[in-house]
A and B are shown apart, each in its own frame.
Chain A
């Protein structure tokens, strides 16, 4: 809407200025990526085997996004869109060419270590400095493609973007995905899709076919009244179609797939067939489905049946979660345990910060209390005092953390806002200093910590449960239980009181809410959850070290709540996966991952300040906007309807109901 009107109102010169600015931005980004060393470092890492390396992906991706953004100023003018994209792409590419012109001449290496021949090699696709024009031409072509993307109808744009993104995601995680696939009955498919590093060309074609199928199927489905069914069948048939072709080819002419042109051809052919079939069939299914009026039938079901149906997608997910450590290996399990521990802490802080609005930057203190309590009670080292099993020690850890939370909450009850953050910062430091101090060294072991914490299950080595995987299941169960408790609390009288305190402490008090009790409960429960996290952590590493207790933990927990969405339980889970899980999975990118981590945080906070999965009130606003979209899906009742029904509020359709007659004087 706004884009169209801006095209009309903005003078031509100004629009070109914008395009130039975007091009300059692209140039800056490309130079940055090159000089920081991302491009040459990841040249060796294949995204699509023997076709596209990760380093190139960065450059090409930049060009494409820049081209797309530049075309924004010429919506509805196809030729101009392509031209704008090409020009912005050209600027991006020219910057790289310029770099190669200047770099060798003035010995740029003394400033930028990465401005080396290997970088120039990558930028000219290995052809050397005689081929300076390559980035420019590449920029024009890719930028024009990016601009051209903007001409396509919106759903197709989306599906292509989704396809390209899944290409990147699959390429990045190829190692992780390949291993379990090869071990499964679908090994042949695994070999077809994944090379030893990155996707095969054929795998890339399948991915794109799937995405395109989704777009076309969705578009056709929408005409028949159900975009969702069209998309589903489109994805499925697009991928299945090309997979079938691929499998056939692998059977009939195994050598053909080794040659890239045949592989690509096979994938594309399969894709075309799949997309065509997906579109048509998706449309047909959509028509059939919409004629069934499933939403009516769904609404007519009794409420337990409805929630059962809603929960069905969770079953395969649950299965996946259960087999995860066996499929992806112990290292992956360890990452997930870490995520689960952060989920525990996140859910804890979500009560103090997300619901009650009490910013606590010393949250790691309670984590430490939990970890040390378990270690003290279970350790077989001289520091152990009780020889409890982990299971008996956990309630103590949670209880002690609970008391610490209430105890530490007392002195800061009257402090608000920013001041509270600073005051709580002190706790974390006090606990950390105490844990390394000589004062408590006879009990807590000082810098060496407490070691020899036994595992919860005593299994012989070699047993599948011997490694981190047993902690994995324990952590998952703990996270599940705590998430359940957090859900219940949020929707209770106490939860409302917390939110009320966050919104306006004085008014909450004037409504009869006891601030002292309510705040202390928030501190104490938050601390108890973190204490459980600490207990799991102690079991995971079999020890507690003071080095595990640092400010960064507190900040990470606060950040994951904000990224996930303040006050939202699913948000905490998503936040932990994104902020804690992803960096662990990207270990191969060394320190560069923090570069992207930081950039991603900035982008997220700029464009989605409410977080990834915001709490209900914010979500409701978003849904109001979605419902305005004309292509509302008729299958499944809208969120508004569901909520109205849940609340039993049938009159909500009339926005301005008549006041009772008595009211008019």
Chain B
């Protein structure tokens, strides 16, 4: 049975349909990627799964249980953890404390027990400490437990986000652009880490990613979104040759442009085929701002108190802007 399933899930912001009647399904133990141009609704979809947004129509089920409408903390309890596109650590807490917060709902000491420091509490704290240390080691942050999270190196912050998500003991891990802003070496490390999460810990992983080498390298299945709709689904090989995907990424431009772009796509595809070293310099990160033409309704990004929530909407705005300039 599918671990995570969305049926006709729809999320609207005012007039904008950020996620449109999305059918999605993934099995336990899979690594699945969601790709698409900026503003395609990927992060919105994540936010719907994690309970940040309530979908307007359709259902989302996790392990057979409907989760749409549940608050984020309940969804976390069911076993879904996530990371964020723009890193959202507890910047003023230490690395250890960040992970310990992740362990929060696996601990049970009440405030009275904490004040009295009952033997059970002490045991629990000690176990949590050990567990947090183990997780930090697992993601490669050994010995950095006392560092202030906000002062870690960028790549380490991404790792810490993963460790914190793991502390929640999830079955499904949602990773929102885990390699964004990383250099090739860090990207390779992160890719390896993601693979270990599945192979060693048996997690199912749903991934939003722009870095095509990562996507093509580790995903078993890929879902492509554009304007909130699923335009393609399949294995990396199928997706790479899918005409609609190429179109979504590169736009229905003039023939001349298309020719140039096709060359670019082929170069990217060649790179994906394994000679990564040769093409390392020209990253396959496709120009994301070139969303295709088409009427995009104005986005009402009124979710001002939550930058991340509004991210997708912002992206859509940006895409809109680029189009007008062109």
Chain A residues close to B by CB (< 8 Å): 416-417, 485, 488-489, 492-497, 499-500, 503-504, 506-515, 521, 525, 617-618, 620-621, 640, 643-644, 647, 649, 651-655, 657, 659-660, 662-665
Determine whether the beta carbon of B102 is less than 8 Å from that of A659.
Answer: no
How many A-B pairs have beta carbons closer than 8 Å: the answer is: 150
Report B73-101 CB contacts with A as 1/0, cut-off 8 Å: 10111000110100010111110110011
Determine whether the beta carbon of B97 is less than 8 Å from that of A512.
Answer: no
Determine whether the beta carbon of B101 is less than 8 Å from that of A511.
Answer: yes
CB<8 Å pairs between A and B, sample of 11: A493-B124, A499-B90, A510-B76, A511-B104, A620-B146, A647-B145, A649-B143, A649-B146, A654-B143, A660-B140, A663-B189
Closest to A419 in B: B305
Chain B CB within 10 Å — which of A417, A525, A643, A652 has the most? A652
Closest to A499 in B: B93
Given contacts A485-B115, A496-B100, A511-B168, contact A506 B92 (CB under 8 A): no
Determine whether the beta carbon of A497 is less than 8 Å from that of B143.
Answer: no
- Say yes or no: is B114 at the interface (Cβ < 8 Å to chain A): yes
Closest to B145 in A: A649
Given contacts A504-B88, A512-B104, A621-B148, contact A664 B109 (CB under 8 A): no
- Say yes or no: is B178 at the interface (Cβ < 8 Å to chain A): no
Determine whether the beta carbon of A652 is less than 8 Å from that of B101.
Answer: no
Report B36-72 CB contacts with A as 1/0, cut-off 8 Å: 0000000000000011100000000000000000011
- Bound CA–CA A485/B121 (angstroms): 15
Q: A417-B305, A496-B100 are in contact. List 17 more A-B contacts (CB 8 A).
A: A489-B115, A492-B109, A493-B107, A493-B124, A503-B92, A504-B90, A506-B306, A509-B73, A510-B76, A525-B111, A620-B148, A652-B146, A655-B144, A662-B196, A663-B140, A663-B189, A665-B188
In the bound complex, residues from chain B placing their C-beta under 8 Å from that of A644 are 146
Determine whether the beta carbon of B101 is less than 8 Å from that of A508.
Answer: yes
Determine whether the beta carbon of A665 is less than 8 Å from that of B97.
Answer: no
Determine whether the beta carbon of A663 is less than 8 Å from that of B192.
Answer: yes
- Say yes or no: is B231 at the interface (Cβ < 8 Å to chain A): no
Determine whether the beta carbon of A617 is less than 8 Å from that of B148.
Answer: yes
- Bound CA–CA A511/B76 (angstroms): 6
- Bound CA–CA A417/B306 (angstroms): 12
Determine whether the beta carbon of B143 is less than 8 Å from that of A506.
Answer: no
In the assembled complex, how far is the CB of residue B269 from the closest CB belonging to chain A, in whole angstroms? 21
- Say yes or no: is B164 at the interface (Cβ < 8 Å to chain A): yes
Determine whether the beta carbon of A494 is less than 8 Å from that of B111.
Answer: yes
Closest to A660 in B: B140
Contact-residue size bin, chain B (C-beta under 8 Å from the other chain): 35 or more
Determine whether the beta carbon of B305 is less than 8 Å from that of A416.
Answer: yes
- Bound CA–CA A512/B143 (angstroms): 26
In the bound complex, residues from chain B placing their C-beta under 8 Å from that of A620 are 94, 146, 148
Determine whether the beta carbon of A511 is less than 8 Å from that of B88.
Answer: no
Determine whether the beta carbon of B196 is less than 8 Å from that of A506.
Answer: no
In the bound complex, residues from chain B placing their C-beta under 8 Å from that of A621 are 148, 151
Determine whether the beta carbon of A510 is less than 8 Å from that of B82.
Answer: yes
Within 8 A of A (CB), among B104-126: 104-105, 107, 109-111, 114-117, 121, 124-125
In the bound complex, residues from chain A placing their C-beta under 8 Å from that of B81 are 510-511
Given contacts A499-B97, A500-B90, A500-B93, contact A494 B114 (CB under 8 A): yes
Closest to B156 in A: A656
Closest to B136 in A: A649
Determine whether the beta carbon of B104 is less than 8 Å from that of A497.
Answer: yes
In the assembled complex, how far is the CB of residue B13 from the closest CB belonging to chain A, in whole angstroms? 17
Determine whether the beta carbon of A647 is less than 8 Å from that of B96.
Answer: yes
Closest to B102 in A: A511
Closest to A662 in B: B196
**Closest 10 A-B residue pairs measured CB to CB?**
A492-B114, A512-B105, A512-B76, A651-B143, A503-B90, A659-B140, A509-B72, A500-B101, A510-B72, A488-B115
In the bound complex, residues from chain B placing their C-beta under 8 Å from that of A511 are 73, 76, 81, 101-102, 104-105, 164, 167-168
Within 8 A of A (CB), among B132-178: 133, 137, 140, 142-146, 148, 151, 164, 167-168
- Bound CA–CA A514/B72 (angstroms): 9
In the assembled complex, how far is the CB of residue A645 from the closest CB belonging to chain B, in whole angstroms? 11
Closest to B113 in A: A492
- Bound CA–CA A360/B118 (angstroms): 31
In the bound complex, residues from chain A placing their C-beta under 8 Å from that of B137 are 660
Determine whether the beta carbon of B73 is less than 8 Å from that of A493.
Answer: no
Determine whether the beta carbon of B308 is less than 8 Å from that of A506.
Answer: yes
Given contacts A617-B92, A651-B142, contact A659 B104 (CB under 8 A): no
- Say yes or no: is B318 at the interface (Cβ < 8 Å to chain A): no
Determine whether the beta carbon of A664 is less than 8 Å from that of B189.
Answer: yes
- Bound CA–CA A657/B145 (angstroms): 12
Contact pick for A512, options B77, B94, B193, CB 8 Å: B77
In the bound complex, residues from chain A placing their C-beta under 8 Å from that of B128 are 493
In the assembled complex, how far is the CB of residue A255 from the closest CB belonging to chain B, in whole angstroms? 63
- Bound CA–CA A633/B188 (angstroms): 44
Closest to B142 in A: A657
Determine whether the beta carbon of B192 is less than 8 Å from that of A665.
Answer: yes
In the bound complex, residues from chain A placing their C-beta under 8 Å from that of B188 are 664-665
In the bound complex, residues from chain B placing their C-beta under 8 Å from that of A657 are 140, 142-144
- Say yes or no: is B25 at the interface (Cβ < 8 Å to chain A): no
- Say yes or no: is B290 at the interface (Cβ < 8 Å to chain A): no
In the bound complex, residues from chain B placing their C-beta under 8 Å from that of A506 are 52, 72, 88, 306, 308-309
Determine whether the beta carbon of A512 is less than 8 Å from that of B192.
Answer: no
Closest to A487 in B: B115
In the bound complex, residues from chain B placing their C-beta under 8 Å from that of A488 are 114-117
Contact pick for A663, options B91, B167, B193, CB 8 Å: B193
Closest to A643 in B: B146
- Bound CA–CA A651/B147 (angstroms): 13
- Bound CA–CA A495/B110 (angstroms): 11
- Say yes or no: is B191 at the interface (Cβ < 8 Å to chain A): yes
In the assembled complex, how far is the CB of residue A512 from the closest CB belonging to chain B, in whole angstroms? 4
In the bound complex, residues from chain B placing their C-beta under 8 Å from that of A503 are 90-93
In the bound complex, residues from chain A placing their C-beta under 8 Å from that of B102 are 511
In the assembled complex, how far is the CB of residue B53 from the closest CB belonging to chain A, in whole angstroms? 11
In the bound complex, residues from chain B placing their C-beta under 8 Å from that of A665 are 188, 191-192
Given contacts A510-B52, A652-B145, A662-B196, contact A617 B94 (CB under 8 A): yes
- Bound CA–CA A479/B9 (angstroms): 55
Contact pick for B109, options A417, A493, A640, CB 8 Å: A493
Closest to B195 in A: A665
- Bound CA–CA A616/B109 (angstroms): 23
In the bound complex, residues from chain B placing their C-beta under 8 Å from that of A514 are 73
Closest to A514 in B: B73
In the bound complex, residues from chain B placing their C-beta under 8 Å from that of A521 are 111
In the bound complex, residues from chain B placing their C-beta under 8 Å from that of A651 are 142-143
- Bound CA–CA A640/B94 (angstroms): 14
In the bound complex, residues from chain B placing their C-beta under 8 Å from that of A492 are 109, 111, 114-115, 121, 125
Closest to A493 in B: B107
In the bound complex, residues from chain B placing their C-beta under 8 Å from that of A485 are 115
Closest to A615 in B: B92
- Bound CA–CA A654/B142 (angstroms): 9
Report B276-297 CB contacts with A as 1/0, cut-off 8 Å: 0000000000000000000000
Closest to A490 in B: B114
Contact pick for A496, options B52, B97, B140, B142, CB 8 Å: B97
In the assembled complex, how far is the CB of residue A85 from the closest CB belonging to chain B, in whole angstroms? 39
Contact pick for B192, options A493, A494, A643, A664, CB 8 Å: A664
